[in-house]
Amino acid sequence: MASHKILVIDDSRVIRMRVRDMLPQGNFEVIEAKDGVEGMDAIRSQHPNLIMLDFLLPRMSGWEVFQAVQASPDFQSIPLVLMSGRKEEVTEKISEPFEFFEFIQKPFEQKELIEAIKGAMVKARKPRPMAAVTSTATAAAGAGEIAALQQKVARLEAEVAQLKGQTAKILAFIKQKLR
């Protein structure tokens, strides 16, 4: 049985297969998700040891998944490798240096992938600063309450994204039937 679970969240089947093929045989169980909603579901249910996350995804973007992972104390300690073919799309939302995750530009080679995974593992162990307190209500709430609320918000955001995807499918079905 594999000792580590790696979750690859990418809408490209080629990238998911490429990552699987680049990892050493026998050491990893690769779990695949083709969009952000599937990815968040897999994070919650599979408890991966590493997340490989594409920045541009359907249904729930990589940016939204990234925010949910970073907002959750349970998930933010999971090593994260953010992937994109265009680094500028990532740096528009997240300024460098990337302190708590690793970035890899597509396409990448096996050596780059392994280095990114090693870097992500080191960065995931870094202590996180306490979030800035911005209101009296936040100041009055305990750290446990804040963490629970952040998890609830992340879950609700994932559910909303999933419902949007389901609604789009229903509308497409209705439009097709009306033709």
What average pLDDT score do residues 144-173 get? 78
Range of the domain at 15: 4-178
- Specify which residues 53 forms β-bridges with: 9, 82
* Per-residue model confidence (pLDDT) at position 82: 92
Task: Please count the structural domains in the chain.
Answer: 1
Q: Please, what is the Cα angle at 151 between 12 and 136, to 5 degrees?
A: 135
SS3 105: strand
Nearest to 30 by CA among 13, 17, 14: 17
What average pLDDT score do residues 10-35 get? 87
What average pLDDT score do residues 119-140 get? 62
Nearest to 32 by CA among 22, 44, 82, 19: 19
Residue 3 has pLDDT above 60, yes or no: yes
The reported pTM is 0.68
Pairing of strands 102-105, 50-54: unpaired
* Per-residue model confidence (pLDDT) at position 88: 83
User: What's the rounded Cα separation, in Å, for the pair 88 and 86?
Assistant: 5
Question: For residue 53, what is the enclosing H or E element?
Answer: strand 50-54
CATH at 78: 3.40.50.2300
* Per-residue model confidence (pLDDT) at position 125: 82
How does pLDDT run across 39-88, given as a tens digit for each residue? 999 999 999 999 999 999 888 898 899 988 888 888 888 999 999 888 88
How does pLDDT run across 89-122, given as a tens digit for each residue? 888 887 777 888 899 999 899 999 989 998 998 8
* Per-residue model confidence (pLDDT) at position 160: 82
